[in-house]
Structure formats: structure tokens, C-alpha cells
Amino acid sequence: MNSTSEKPTIPAARAVVNILLKEKIDHVFGIPGTQNLAILDILRETPQIRFILTRHEQAAAFMAHGYARAKRAPAVVTATEGPGLTNLATGIAAAYKGYAPVISICGVQENYMRDRDSMQDIDQADFMRPITKWAKTVESPEKVQELLRKAFRIALAQPQGPAHIDVSSEVLHESVQAEDIAPESYRSSVLPACDAAQLDEVAALLQQARRPVFLVGRGVINEEATDAVGELARLAGIPVAALQYTPDAFPTTHELALGALGRNGAGSANRIVPQADLIIAIGAHIDVFSTTFKYGILGKDAKLVHHSSAPGQIGIVFPVTIGVTGSTRSFVAGLTERAKRAGLSKSWVDVPKARAEWERELNAKVRPDAVPIQSQFVAQTIRKALPENGICVVDAGNGGKHVRSYFKSYAPGTFICMDDWAAVGGSFPMALGAKLARPDLPVLCASGDGGAMCNIGELETAVRENIPIVYVIFNDSGLGNERAFQNERYGGRFFAVDYDNPNFAELAKVFGAHGEQVTRPGDLEGAIERAFASGKPAVVDVIIDKNTLAPVVFRPE
């Protein structure tokens, strides 16, 4: 007998789970079905991995997304073939647009069933390719381990994002030779350093600039470089604005923090950044909410240095003076070293004064005694009631936009939104995933009533799995964001934006969660505090004024 045949064999499904263990996966989200049951059967006897059964595959994908974002690590979701897979699509697309490393492992019809107009048979890999970095159907048991390792390698390469494989039960039940390969043997986890010559060029531009600004994005959070950016900013006296989707990349408490840029961002950032003659974007993906993809917020005559760990993200919208690729930490460290050597001092604006002026204007818009309750007051109270280290997960829509405006960041990794996908309803399951990733931190989800109804069934999941988050619902019995657009662009001709809701607080109690409905502004902060104190999944249903609409068009000041 040759040495190859003497190697131990295991079911292909066991090989799948073994790779998950090697990748330190401790949660899998999803719903079982005929073609992925073999994997579930192995997970049943694998206590190191907690399987979270959801009520809809879309929610499972969103939970994996929230988990990946909060833990800054890969997450796994599974579904069966056909509609199980297609139900994942919205959540997987959100991970694709949000650069979250979610690996979907789905069932697919057995080989003999395919291409015969069979039940639940589509070309699943082709379906997933536009919304993933890579998608593949595993045709034979011998390829299972290799292709799953490839999925992790691709998902975690820069820019990160989802990868997909599907595999049938007939393949999963077959025996394969176990391959004991550690992750560091098939993928790199260390980003390259930025080029020293380019850093010299950036430092030279800084020396020449009169009004430089730093603009920070998710790379700063992912590489835990927030403190390093703060040191650089303080050393050089340069103000820092954050991109809209990552206001937590730079704490508002820092004396040089301008706040988030763009629509529903901070006036202090939107007034000062257009004055800059040099913008250095660090760890940045330039998004439309922050910049409108037009010159204005970013000055047309300003020089732009764009740093990203992903080369393909540089120069997509705005031509750059210098594009730098490499790790965020090496970029910041390199600039800091050069700034110290040059004795760089570029203070040119009174940042605390600009922020104080904007906060006075923002708070002046809040009427704390108004009934129905103002959206602005709800957003302000959420920030007040959420502990400084708590995670805020924000939905798309009117309520989420108000929360963005009033969100002060105290620490990195405390703000999660849907980025460039804006899928209404995804925030609740994302928040559940975030809480599972960070059980040590309080988690609050903020969404509108339209979003609440999209995944309301996951309240049962939250109760069954004991995932204690606080869900604050901006309840105006309608689609506030579309009201705002109809008001802005269609002369206030409202259509198909109003409906009736259940009492979400009572519905929460039916599920076994904590629930309170709030109609008076003075009761709101206490209701949120009681929700956190309940130790249970909790819903705070806030009846708001349908006319307090967040801006949907950015108008430069």
C-alpha cells in the first residue's frame, strides 16, 4: 500500500468544518436545508462553533456582516440551494459594498439534477459572482478543501469582501484525505509597507501646503491606527475629518477632530475641508455621501494624496496628485517620522471653535419638549444614553441620517452602517452579529419602522439565542426618507409612503423581549436606559413627528 492511501480519510463535510476551526471561526449563521445538512450535522458535534439559526437567510448574511465588521475578522454564513441562496443576496451584496470578509458556503443540487430544469436549480456561482469577489461550485470532493481555503484567501485579501462556494450533499458525504494546512501557509496576513520614496513626496507636499487636512477612512480602524493618526495630527497641527461611513475612525473628542464629512455630516468638516489646499486621505475609500462625487466639498484646486491598502480604490473618482498603496500603519508612521524630522507645524484653523459653533447650531435644531417627538431629539438622546464604548448600528433611511448627524465618536469600532448599499432593514441583524462578536460591549441599533418590519422575525432569534441589544425604532408610520425625496424633488406630492404599524413594544413582548413605546420626549432616555438594564433583547418604539426629515440633498454653505 502506498503512503498516499495510508493517509486518514474523513467526510468532505468534516474537512469543511476543520478549515473553519483552523480559521478560528466560532460562529456560523444560517438556515439548514437538504444540501447543506451534511455540514450542519458536523457542526452539531463541534462545540467550538456556535450555530445561529436565523428566521431568514437575508438576516443570516447581515448577521455575518455585522459580526465581521465588529470583530474585524472573517465570518461564515450557510444556506441551502436555490431560494436559500438567492435569499442571501441582499446581505451578501451589502458585505461586498462594505468590504466585509463574509464567506458563504451553500448547498447546490446534486450533479445529476443540474441542467435538467430541476427544482431549485440555477447556476448559483454565476448568480453570486457580481456580488462577491469570487464564487465557485465545488464539483468533486477532492477540491473541497482547496477551494474553501481559496475562499478565505480571496475574502481577506485587500480590499476585503465576500467569497462564495457551493457544494452538493453528494460531494459533502464523500470521503477525502484530510489536509492539515495552517492558514499562514496559504494566505498572507501582513500588508506591505508604503514606499519610502512616495512618503518623501507626501512629506514634501505637506511642507509646501498652507492649509492641509487629513481625511480618514476604514483602513485606520481596521489596522488600529486611530491613536497614531491622532499623534500625527497633534504633532503637525493638522485638522482631521472622517469619511461619512466611518465617523469613529477619529474620535470627536480629539482637539483636531472636524467630524464626519458630507451630507448629514458635520458643518465644521464641510466648511473647513473645502478651504484645504492639500487633502491627505488615509485608509480611505472615497464615497458619494462624503463627497457627492463632485468638486465642492473637496476643492478642485486642492492637491489630493490618496492612501489605501487596496490599489484599485485609488483615483476612482478624483484624480490624485500622489496615490500610495500599503499598510495604513506604515503610511502614518512614515509621515510621523518625516514630520518630526522636519519640525512640521501647520496649524491654520481653530478646530475647537469650528466644532463648538457647529454643535451649537446642531443642538439649536432640537426641541426637547416637542410632541410628536422630533427625530433630532431621538438621535441626540441615543448618543447621550449609549455608553461611550457602545456600538451604534445605523440603518438606511431618515432615522439613520439623523443619527449620523448627532453621533459623537469616542472610540474606533463603535459605529456600523450599511455603507454604499443602504439596504433598509439590515441594521437589526447586523447589530445581532455585532453583539455576538463583541459581547463585552453594549450595542444599540437605530432604524425606521420600515426597516424594522423587514427583519422583525429575528426578534425570535435574539430571544432564543439571548442576544441583548437595544433596538430604537423611529416610528412615523411611513417611509420618511422617501417623503423627504418627494418633498425635495416632487413638490411635496406624497405617494405610497404611508402605512399602519403594529405596536412594536407589545410585539417585542410577544416574542419574549423587553419592549416600551415612547410618546413623550421626557420618557425617552429612561426607556433606553431600562432597555439596556433589562439584559434582554429590547425594543424602544418611539412615535416621532413625520415631518422632521433629514436632508437628502447636500447644499454647500
Residue 115, pLDDT above cutoff 90: no
Tell me the CA distances in angstroms from 550 to 155, 486, 526, one per residue in order. 35, 13, 25
Tell me the CA distances in angstroms from 274 to 325, 369, 405, one per residue in order. 25, 36, 19
User: pLDDT tens across 276-314, in order?
Assistant: 999 999 999 999 999 999 999 999 999 999 999 999 999
Rounded CA-CA distance 535/257 in Å is: 34
Tracing cell 447621550 back to the chain, one arrives at 384
Residue 98, pLDDT above cutoff 50: yes
Which residue intervals of 1-130 are DSSP H helices? 3-6, 12-22, 37-44, 57-71, 83-97, 124-128
Rounded CA-CA distance 378/376 in Å is: 5
User: pLDDT tens across 410-464, in order?
Assistant: 999 999 998 889 899 999 999 999 999 999 999 999 999 999 999 999 999 999 9
Per-residue confidence (pLDDT) for residue 216, from 0 to 100: 98
- Domains identified in the chain and CATH numbers: 3-185 (3.40.50.970), 196-351 (3.40.50.1220), 365-543 (3.40.50.970)
The mean pLDDT of the chain is: 95
Per-residue confidence (pLDDT) for residue 8, from 0 to 100: 85
- Please state the pTM of the whole predicted model: 0.96
What percent of the chain stands above pLDDT 90?
93
How would you label 491-521 residue by residue, b for 16+ Cβ within 10 Å and e otherwise? eeeeeebeeebeebbebbeebebbbbbbeeb
User: pLDDT tens across 196-229, in order?
Assistant: 999 999 999 999 999 999 999 999 999 999 999 9
Rounded CA-CA distance 510/514 in Å is: 9
Per-residue confidence (pLDDT) for residue 2, from 0 to 100: 45
Rounded CA-CA distance 298/175 in Å is: 58
Rounded CA-CA distance 544/255 in Å is: 34
Per-residue confidence (pLDDT) for residue 5, from 0 to 100: 54
Residue 206 near residue 335, CB atoms below 8 Å: yes
Per-residue confidence (pLDDT) for residue 556, from 0 to 100: 67
pLDDT-based confidence at 110, cuts 50/70/90? confident
User: pLDDT tens across 45-62, in order?
Assistant: 999 999 999 999 999 999
How would you label 378-388 residue by residue, b for 16+ Cβ within 10 Å and e otherwise? bbbbbbebbee
User: pLDDT tens across 334-345, in order?
Assistant: 999 999 999 999
Element (H, E) at 528: helix 524-533
Per-residue confidence (pLDDT) for residue 9, from 0 to 100: 94
Tracing cell 524630522 back to the chain, one arrives at 341
Q: How many residues does the chain have?
A: 557
The pair phi, psi for residue 330, each rounded to 5°, is -70, -35
pLDDT-based confidence at 3, cuts 50/70/90? very low
Rounded CA-CA distance 225/539 in Å is: 35
Residue 23 near residue 189, CB atoms below 8 Å: no
The partner residues of 53 in beta bridges, in order of sequence, read: 30
Per-residue confidence (pLDDT) for residue 1, from 0 to 100: 39
User: pLDDT tens across 545-555, in order?
Assistant: 999 999 888 77
